[in-house]
Amino acid sequence: MDVMGMGPGPPTPILPPDWENPVVVERNKTPPHVPLNPYPTVESALLKGQTPYVKSLDGRWRFKLFQSPEATEANKFFEPNFSCDTWDQISVPSNWQMLGYDKPIYTNVQYPFPCDPPRVPRENPTGCYRREFDIPAEWTNRRVFLSFEAANSALHVWINGNAVGYSQDSRLPAEFDITPFIVTGTNFVAARVYRWCDGSYLEDQDFWWLSGLFRSVRLYAKPHVYIADYTVKTTFTDAHMTDARVSIVCKLGTATLCNIKDTRFADQDHVYICSLAGGHYWDVEGDHIQARWSDQGVWQKFTIRADQEGPICHGNTVYFRAHTGQYIGRDEGANELNASCDQPQAYGFIIEKCDGSAGPVAADQDRVQFRTPAGEYVCVHKQALVVEPDSAMDDNNARVFIVHCNQRRQANGLTLKAQLYDASHQPVFSADLSSKFGGVTQHLEDEAYLESVVHNPRKWSAEDPQLYTLVLRLVQMDEIRDIERCQVGIRQVEMKDDLVHVNGVPLTVRGANRHEHHPEHGHVVTKEDMIQDILLLKQHNFNAVRTSHYPNDSLWYELCNEYGLYIVDETNIETHGCHPMSMLSHNQLWRNAYCERAGRMVARDKNHPCIIFWSLGNEAGCGPNHAAMAGLIRQLDNTRILHYEGDPMADPMFTDILCPMYHRVEQIKQAIAKPGERRPLILCEYTHAMGNSNGNVHKYWEAINMYPRLQGGFVWDWVDQGLTKTAPDGTKYWAYGGDFGDTINDAAFCINGLVFPDRTPHPGCFELKKCQAPIAVTCRNLQRALFDVVNHYMFSSLDNVVLQWCLKEDGAVLQSGELSLVGIGPRCGKTLRMPELTAARDLKPGAEYFALMTLCLASDTPWACKGHVITQQQFAMPYGAPKPLSPLPEPSMGTPLQVEDGRVTRIFNSVVQFVVDQVGSTVSLSATPSSSSTTSMPIIKDLQMCINRAPTDNDLGGGECSYAQQWAKVGMSLKENVFWRAEVLSGAMRGGLVQDTTFVSQDGQQYIKFRTHYEVWCDKRLRIRSSVTVSPSMQSVVPRLGLEFAVPKCFSNVAYFACGPHENYADRKSSTIVDVFRSTAQDMYVPYIFPSENGGREDMRWVSLRDKEGNGVMVKSRGAVHFDVSQFTIAQLEAARHTCDLTPHAELLFLHIDAAHMGLGGDDSWSPATHPEYLI
């Protein structure tokens, strides 16, 4: 088909469409550059206010989805007379799948189509967009640019029916100069967006495949000569970093500042560029452009040089300057060329004939035409050299070419001026910096270079993100032609002493991988969404983000500059589903695509101080194309660190640091200890946060704090990528792969964030906050109450931090106070003596005493309010309280107990009844709620031994080796419950019986045996003692060893003395404190998107469940145990696949008391990863 809707080309050669041609990554896009926002005045630039030269095209667009690009309407909708009034209207930006068109698809590794690069499925959903827009009158005589900030996966663009261009790379702007195609007043833009293109093979990231115009679309207007790009670099001039050099390189843009586009084929000598309609080729040979009809065609060679602003129009005449220096023009209606024009200020194309066989034959307002010896017409069409059909020409078979010139040109009379402003908008330089274009010999004629020193600058860091504003002015004849502005952070990144340094200080990365994700809007994220993430990240002690695995919206980097986060900016390349993964990196046809993605990312983002690493992408293997990318990035920017995990050998060609993923703690220690290896190590991904996970993370931070060359890591990942969906009963839940009819999917592997899709933190998020906290309190001597406060901040003192302390006895506050930490500088510490914690006191028998140190903000910051808790540390004080006289005192009085034996055994009196159903093997307890009550109410129901839990995502990971598969293979099931005869003891004040419970494996060779002693007391107490024996031949770990029972649902008010306040397990409890907490059964439920074991609490001393009148049950333990309270049975949780599958039991709550409960693991989620000391 016609790739731009302009008619078919000749039958040979047959060219693939743009979206299946890896050599064609774009057509007619502007050269890469920083984001441009032209301002009318310096004042408006400083305020970053509204500018009349930028117009948003966000909003309502006409839209229709077709099943393939070949659909008839999809090849006509861009024509001026086409009516799309019956089409739907949708919002832009958006992903069309989130609006009900097509379906979301989630994959982790595999492609959602057959892996056959560069071919994509014939059924290629194609979204056609169209809308009108107005060009303001004040934009007359300005160049107008159309920018799609992102389009997934590729798009073609038309303006007023004219083909404009093509773009791939769904995460960087597709920007076009549309000046030749617009008129003052009403215009229309049409965009055809393809779900799949050959570029999709480079975008196999672990996230949802969603399509459409999902970032903003805008127009901006520039003068004909304008600031097209600029680079700002800051370096310190001395070792003490007291002065900084700010250097600026600015590139000029004119009407012809663009490159030759649309390379189709290449050999050793020539690059051939195909016309948009196919058939013709351009062969670029040195400085010449040659046109031919076919391989046997006759060549005509011209040299076209840009001369300032291109063709100039004066009235109805268009003028070009010939190689003789004359101007060639034609008045409308005239048949002869007019070479007599004399306009000294006119700028145009210099057209030099390379032989005398052909020359200009005709001209009108838009074109000068040249006839080749083959009889074709070559036209200079304002910006472009074209061969096109024209009713005024003799040859109607000519075809259109667009070949833009990229020639140097003079910039006479143009001056670049710059001023740096501080946060109060006061100028930093004593006078404006100024440079004429072309005035510095080592720079091109279209560049200007400025440099100055800032004395004693406010330095930028993630902790103290001090920003300046740079304002650039392009001046000609004392008239301001163009104004641009950007944030400037004065900081320096370097490798020194085998470590990454920022501003001369070794870096510690407390990082997270972050996808752009919203549960209702897909990949569309607003400024408010971004700020929410940044605040949460900083509040949980993160200082860095890896933009996994693609460049983010430009606004994200501006906000990270402002709030302070270090960024790894990652190229939009992942080929995880290729076999081998590095296949495309070794394919020369894809090299340009690799380099375009890297180069355009660097060009767009190079001025952001928050970016301290460039990344070559993710999980794409390595090969020559990665080497080319690395070389290009280093050439474009030598001020940052290069990062790439994809080379298993970590060749310095590809990466400046070691950056493995999911290495265990011992592996990262071994990596930095290798002979000859001097680079630091930063984990690009670690502690896989899939569901109830993040066990063992404290071990990573113990190692990071111990070994200087372990410089941190990035958690995988920040947010659960669940999409909101509605169940048939109207219940909303978060969906994952396979929930939208996407038959090729990777299920719930997108659900691995530290926060839920609505940004509610997981309990694992609190663990990271604690383990990577930038302040630590350690005990030097508890007997003497000496504590060390250690400040791990790189640049910040603790002047804005207070230490709040309290001493508690069994959860009750005895003393409290507050200490100032003023004067503790960055990377320093101080020993505090707290005599209040050593004073003598009356010690309560059996009591536990804990001192809690809480470090809080003393005043508001941009990211958190006064009182925000940075970290806590609790210490068990060694006061030596006497032991209680009796752990369980005998009842002093009460109604004697009776025993009834039989099929149902009862031990009872007037206030308590203990019932054992010998046949049903159930145990229950009921009691009167008070001494005045005569009505008994159930307290405990279905009490039994328990060894199972609903598998977590980590339990399920690992295929045949997973813990869940081990449990399934062993197949432990209850074989028998034997109850021994009941009896009364101690003068009928106590009654008891013994239960033997045996669980046996499927093969009968493995067993777990419990012997449980029940003692019922006449005052409504039940004492349970249990011992367990596990067969030596046991081939599987055991999830838990404990008991479970049900209580009435009205007992939903929970109080407990244990680790809290949030959910915790044996290998994830560093972030907890031991205290008395109050909650409800409903609030203790953690609604993991894939339902699993949840809500546990470690080190329980006691727990009570009561109704609103205070009636209920209390469980006390002689040792610290694990417990959880749930609205759901284990079977319910295990059977559910989504939260909407769970219905709380109408009458009961379920309590587990475990003598042992295995840890969670979390080093990864695809192998059994719970550490041995946390297994049973």
Cis-peptide, bond into residue 1061, ω within 30° of zero: yes
For the question of residue 388 being annotated catalytic, the response is no
Classify residue 1074 by its DSSP letter: E
- 544 has which bridge partners? 511, 566
CA distances from 631 to 549, 732, 1019, 1165 (A): 20, 49, 80, 35
| Helix 697-706, helix 763-771: angle, nearest 10 | 10
- Nearest alpha-carbon partner for 473 in 982, 57, 38: 38
Distance CA 445, CA 407 (A): 10
Q: Looking at residue 1068, what DSSP letter applies?
A: B
Question: Could you give the CA distance from residue 41 to residue 477 in angstroms, rounded to a whole number?
Answer: 17
Question: What whole-number distance in Å separates Cα of residue 196 and Cα of residue 839?
Answer: 72
CA 23/CA 19 separation, integer angstroms: 10
DSSP string, 760-791: PBPHHHHHHHHHT-SEEEEEEETTTTEEEEEE
Which two tokens mark 72? 């008839």
Is 735 within 8 Å of 1138 (Cβ atoms)?
Answer: yes
Q: Quick check: 303 and 288 in contact, CB under 8 A? A: yes
Per DSSP, the residues of 546-588 read E-TTS---HHHHHHHHHHT-EEEEE-S-B-TTSSSTTTGGG-G
Residue of 20, 175, 516, 619 marked active site: 619
| Alpha-carbon distances, residue 147 vs 25, 178, 232, 733, 1103 (angstroms) | 16, 10, 23, 36, 61
d(CA 662, CA 715): 10
Instruction: Give the active site residue among 26, 685, 809, 1093.
Output: 685
DSSP string, 171-188: TS-EEEE-GGG--SEEEE
Cβ proximity of 493 and 283 under 8 Å = no
* H/E stretch holding 732: strand 732-735
Rounded to an integer, what is the distance from CA 403 to the centroid of its chain? Answer: 38
* Torsion angle defined by CA atoms of residues 492, 495, 496 and 501, in that order, rounded to the nearest 10 degrees: 50
Torsion sign across C-alpha atoms 950, 955, 957, 963? negative
DSSP state of 522: B
> From the CB of residue 948, how many other CB atoms can be counted at a distance below 10 Å?
17
781: exposed, middle or buried (Cβ count in 10 Å: 0-12, 13-18, 19+): exposed
Q: Are 1061 and 1109 in contact (CB under 8 A)?
A: no
The yes-or-no answer on residue 619 being catalytic is: yes
Rounded Cα distance, 1047 and 939, in Å: 6
Question: Minimal CA–CA distance to 350: which of 323, 317, 330, 371?
Answer: 323
CA distances for 429 relative to 449, 453, 563, 598, angstroms = 16, 8, 25, 34
Q: What is the distance between the alpha carbons of residues 830 and 797, in angstroms, rounded to a whole number?
A: 12
Burial pattern 576-588, b for ≥16 Cβ within 10 A else e, equals bbbeebbbbbebe
1123, 1021 in Cβ contact below 8 A?
no
528-537 as b/e: b if 16+ CB within 10 A: ebbeebbebb
Q: With contact defined as beta carbons under 8 Å apart, do 1118 and 1100 qualify?
A: no
Residue with tokens 């669940």: 722
Catalytic residues: 619, 685
